[in-house]
Chains A and B, each alone.
Chain A
Amino acid sequence: MLARIGRATCVSASQRFLHVAVERNAAFGQISEKDVAFFEQLLGAGGVVTDPDALEPFNRDWQKKYVGNTKVALRPRTTEQVSELLRYCYSRRLAVVPQGGNTGLVGGSVPVFDEVVVSTAAMNRVLEFDEVSGTLVAQAGAVLQSLDEYAGQRGFMMPLDLGAKGSCHIGGNVSTNAGGLRLVRYGSLHGSVLGLQVVLPQPLAGAAGAGSGGGGGGGDGRVLDLLRTLRKDNTGYDLKQLFIGAEGTLGIITAVAIQCAPRPASVQLALLACPSFPAVTAALRTARRMLGEVLSAVEFLDSPCSHLATAHLEGVRNPLLQGGAAEGGGGGGGGEGVTHGSVGSAPFYMLVETHGSDADHDQQKMERFLEAVMGDGSVVDGTLAASEAQAKSIWRLREGVSEALVRRGAVYKYDVSLPTSSMYELVEALRARLAAAGFGADAGVLVVGYGHIGDGNLHLNISAPRYDDGLLSLIEPYVYEYVSRHNGSISAEHGIGLMKAQCLSYSKGPVAVELMRRIKEVVDPYGIMNPYKVLPPRPA
């Protein structure tokens, strides 16, 4: 059984809570003009941001929930510059926050106080691509969507996809072990990342490291060069796995080698309406059995999510709903981009996608699957995208839920792993709990569930007109305790960041947490790498 911290108070999403619960580490240095001068000399004036207005996007996260107070953001262009930067920051005990696309959802990518932001935005080049093996090597600041387009032009695709693809950096994806929409088919970054180049805060070897693997790094002993494009390499501990998901607390990833997958010749997407959650899991079982080797994504969303997306986003509609969106395509008979003769709003929707090499084979598989799930009643309605435009539109319905929630008002976001068959019970239990305390639908509070059902990953969201500590105290630690009781994970893919930094023990026992602390101390004795996040401090 997992041990639990008896009185853990997880740092909440409310801005007020943050500054009360965490204190700035007095041992850290404070930015001075001399420091800025050094940075400017190293990176050029264009690589150093000190203007308060220009610093705002570096200080604030995407959801506008976490706001820091850095006085300087840096934009290095090369690994050597990053190494010099960290050497200097280490010598001055200046705390550092590595920042990619700043699309994280747990406050891990922005400063808590005045930590120096080191952005990978200027390190966005593709370094290498092998058209035979499909291995791609890129600097950490390359945007995921750009890499996917680059790979696409060569007949390949990136092995991960997520809603933030237009902004997130591959280095950030690796640092957070991002999951996304296609993990069920292409696996996690722990499998698809072949190599990394990481800059450590303190040097671990003398200059010009031994061995032929010196590569371009080595430098002053703080560049960890694990950048290989080998599928198999059993030579000692697999160190790159430490940094995948370390959320910038051990070092800064400066380059990534990743295995791309062949771009599928045939893609199919079905949007299905299910009458109940057991029907959803039944359809998932059937999909695994009948679509198996070509299944590339299985997502679900509940009916409130569908309404949110269509109500708050321009041009998004659910093709299975009569009349389309709230402000839909007007009245009268006719298409308006929906199906006809559909049953009205269903409690659950699923997206089932296939990637394969042969359109005819895949269509037959999909047809048999659809017949089976329509036949056994687990699906009551659905549609098959007939063109790329329709497929994009259907994905927009699912991918837009997150954005729609932010537009509606305040959002409390939870990302958990739970046993698939009972996953939705948490949503129902929380909904009932909040309603009983006066935070129900009439109070404008919505409790919704959606996510990567193929991976056992639920995105539980509570949408309210405004942030409210009373509401929060009903949600936390209830959600974490529920997940812990079911041996689940309090963070399936979003990571710990600042939001859950006190909550690690809900999912990891004391031996594991202590080993993590020791590794952190060896690699980063001054603790300057992304402080206040991920690991809870040792109990006094």
Chain B
Amino acid sequence: MSMNPFDEIAVEEAIRLKEKGVATEIVVVSVGVKQAAETIRTALAMGADRGILVVAADDVHQDIEPLAVAKILKAIVAEEQPGLVLMGKQAIDNDMNATGQMLAALLGWAQATQAGAIEVAGDKASVTREIDGGLQVIEVTLPAIVTADLRLNEPRYASLPNIMKAKKKELVEKTAGDYGVDVSPRLTVVKTAEPEGRKAGVKVASVDELVSKLKAAGVI
């Protein structure tokens, strides 16, 4: 079981912030099946301080929807009082790209999504976001939600001595019920359709024919 690549980038960023002296403690959270404890151990081996595993499903194929995850995270945020929440921008199994945004809305916090770079100074963070048109730099006031995109950093390998140390770090196991959250699915799939196939084109024999066809189609 390996960590969602965007989450791995978020963990790496958290560790770098701690190495820079900006962060004092890194708490890693995973919501899902019991085996997700492995990914928490990997994060602890990379350098996180302690982990919380919220067991919310028995079967790895059972999907926990973003809103349910966001509600659980909101409860954990209330307990832990972090200055910054770093998350992967999306999970590569369902590509929803929704949890970070929903969490920000539930908390009433600022959000900086698709982060390609983060600079923290005092109670503000300057985040460079990767958007369709290019790069956008915004400033948010902490505490805030930041979701990590691909180019934020390249995660480190966990070294053996750290893998050994990680086994002694705290990993607490909870359930969705402990936070009063019902994870039953609320979304229903209304319709699934393949994108329309490309229709075959037509070959024309000459430029004149091309022009007349374009005219007939009302294009020129």
Interface size on B, residues (CB 8 A): 25
Identify which of A329, A333, A367, A383 contacts B158 (C-beta below 8 A). A383
Q: How far is the CA of A374 from the CA of B159 in the complex (A)?
A: 12
Contact (Cβ within 8 A) B16 A333: yes
Q: Is A319 an interface residue (CB 8 A)?
A: yes
Contact (Cβ within 8 A) A387 B3: yes
Nearest-neighbour CB distance to chain A for B193, whole angstroms, equals 28
Interface size on A, residues (CB 8 A): 30
Q: Work out how many contacts link A and B, with CB atoms closer than 8 A.
A: 76
Q: Is B206 an interface residue (CB 8 A)?
A: no
Chain A's closest residue to B19 (CB) is A333
Q: Is A203 an interface residue (CB 8 A)?
A: no
Q: Is B175 an interface residue (CB 8 A)?
A: no
Q: How far is the CA of A359 from the CA of B35 in the complex (A)?
A: 11
Q: How far is the CA of A320 from the CA of B163 in the complex (A)?
A: 14
Identify which of A335, A381, A387 contacts B156 (C-beta below 8 A). A335
Contact (Cβ within 8 A) B159 A340: yes
**In the complex, what residues of B have CB within 8 A of residue A337's CB?**
154-157
A374 touching B42 in the complex, CB below 8 Å, given contacts A329-B154, A335-B154, A386-B2: no
Nearest-neighbour CB distance to chain A for B44, whole angstroms, equals 12
Q: How far is the CA of A329 from the CA of B157 in the complex (A)?
A: 14
A371 touching B156 in the complex, CB below 8 Å, given contacts A333-B19, A386-B3, A387-B2: no
Considering only residues 163-202 of chain A, those with a C-beta below 8 Å from chain B are none
Contact (Cβ within 8 A) B2 A388: yes
Q: How far is the CA of A388 from the CA of B2 in the complex (A)?
A: 8
Considering only residues 365-393 of chain A, those with a C-beta below 8 Å from chain B are 367, 370-371, 374, 379, 381-388, 390
**In the complex, what residues of A have CB within 8 A of residue B20's CB?**
333
Q: How far is the CA of A341 from the CA of B153 in the complex (A)?
A: 18
**In the complex, what residues of A have CB within 8 A of residue B167's CB?**
367
**In the complex, what residues of A have CB within 8 A of residue B159's CB?**
320, 339-342, 381-383
**In the complex, what residues of B have CB within 8 A of residue A387's CB?**
2-3, 5, 8
Q: How far is the CA of A237 from the CA of B211 in the complex (A)?
A: 78
Q: How far is the CA of A500 from the CA of B157 in the complex (A)?
A: 42
Contact (Cβ within 8 A) B155 A381: no
Produce 1/0 per residue, B155-189, CB < 8 A to A: 11111111110010000000000000000000000
Nearest-neighbour CB distance to chain B for A195, whole angstroms, equals 39
Q: How far is the CA of A387 from the CA of B12 in the complex (A)?
A: 15
Contact (Cβ within 8 A) A319 B154: no
A386 touching B19 in the complex, CB below 8 Å, given contacts A334-B153, A370-B163, A370-B164: no
Q: How far is the CA of A418 from the CA of B156 in the complex (A)?
A: 37
Q: How far is the CA of A383 from the CA of B8 in the complex (A)?
A: 16
**In the complex, what residues of B have CB within 8 A of residue A342's CB?**
159
A335 touching B2 in the complex, CB below 8 Å, given contacts A374-B161, A381-B161: no
Nearest-neighbour CB distance to chain A for B13, whole angstroms, equals 9
Nearest-neighbour CB distance to chain B for A217, whole angstroms, equals 47
Q: How far is the CA of A379 from the CA of B163 in the complex (A)?
A: 14
Q: Is A338 an interface residue (CB 8 A)?
A: yes
Q: How far is the CA of A163 from the CA of B159 in the complex (A)?
A: 26
Q: How far is the CA of A339 from the CA of B164 in the complex (A)?
A: 14
Jot down 25 A-B pairs with beta carbons below 8 A, ordered by A.
A270-B160, A272-B160, A334-B16, A335-B15, A335-B16, A335-B154, A336-B156, A337-B154, A337-B155, A337-B157, A338-B156, A339-B157, A339-B158, A340-B47, A340-B162, A341-B161, A370-B160, A370-B164, A374-B164, A382-B160, A384-B158, A384-B163, A386-B8, A386-B42, A386-B157
Besides A319-B157, A340-B162, A386-B3, 6 new A-B residue pairs in contact (Cβ under 8 A), listed by A number: A333-B19, A335-B155, A341-B162, A370-B164, A383-B159, A390-B157
The 8 closest A-B pairs by CB, nearest first: A339-B159, A335-B156, A382-B160, A319-B157, A387-B2, A383-B157, A337-B154, A339-B157
